[in-house]
Amino acid sequence: MEQESQIRRLRLSMETYREILVLTNGVLLWEKQWHPTAIIGGELFVHNNLFVSTVI
């Protein structure tokens, strides 16, 4: 009973993030051919910005 209540509360709290989670799941499962490129490009962008900000 307690576990079902916790699951129900978790589902209700995640309802606001549902659209974001669905899109993120599709990208992480590489549903489109360009998803790996977008993931790697985004990661390189973040790491390069961190590197440049620490050098300057």
Query: CA dist 12 to 19, 24, 42, Å?
Result: 14, 19, 31
- Complete DSSP assignment for 5-49: HHHHHHHHHHGGGHHHHHHHHHHHTT-STTHHHHHHHHHHHHHHH
Tell me, yes or no, if the pTM score tops 0.95. no
pLDDT at residue 50 in the model: 93
Confidence of residue 54 (pLDDT cuts 50, 70, 90): confident
Q: Indicate the domain borders of the chain.
A: 2-55
> Can you give the pLDDT at residue 5?
92
Which pLDDT tens digit goes with each residue over 3-53?
Answer: 999 999 998 888 888 889 888 999 889 899 999 999 999 999 999 999 988
